[in-house]
Structure 1
């Protein structure tokens, strides 16, 4: 999701005057719009589908980080044991 600075960074005052058009742009392009206030970034307008994908990715990355910590602490389960546990649950 590449941001195009000339199209996707806009002042908050312009958003207030054209909110519906901004929402249409985000839905059509699937690119976020960065809203600025007093020349500084203030907020991001993001398509709902893109937001859901972003949060899902963040959740997966957090799960991976947690799993890596657990393995580093020696709390991991060997592959064969994990497979046995999963298959046992599926058979119930």
Structure 2
């Protein structure tokens, strides 16, 4: 991972963004020696968001199973048939 100072970002934003797009490597921006933000390529960010949605859905499903909130196969088929029309 690349690390840049916020002052460098201010002065060389175009170059840093060009490097980011070509390398696809995230850039950690620091302020006063401490991490402040990450710069990510748009495609990488969107893919990360999709992964998070999938993981959150799996976690909700696991929680429902543990709480006994499940459907019989016939009920599930009925509900799914409405969605798949």
TM-score by shorter chain over 0.5:
yes
CA RMSD after TM alignment: 1.6
CA gap of 1:17–1:87, structure 2 versus 1, over 3 A, is same
Measured in 1, the distance between the counterparts of 2:39 and 2:83 equals 42
CA gap of 1:72–1:13, structure 2 versus 1, over 3 A, is same
Measured in 2, the distance between the counterparts of 1:80 and 1:21 equals 58
Structure 1 residues 48-63: aligned runs within 5 Å:
48-63=42-57
Measured in 2, the distance between the counterparts of 1:26 and 1:47 equals 7
TM-score (norm 2): 0.86
Among 35, 39, 43, which residue is 1:41 paired with? 35
How many residues of Structure 1 are paired with residues of Structure 2 in the alignment? 85
Unaligned runs of 5+ in 2: none
TM-score (norm 1): 0.80
Structure 1 runs (4+) greater than 2 angstroms displaced: 77-91
CA gap of 1:10–1:79, structure 2 versus 1, over 3 A, is farther
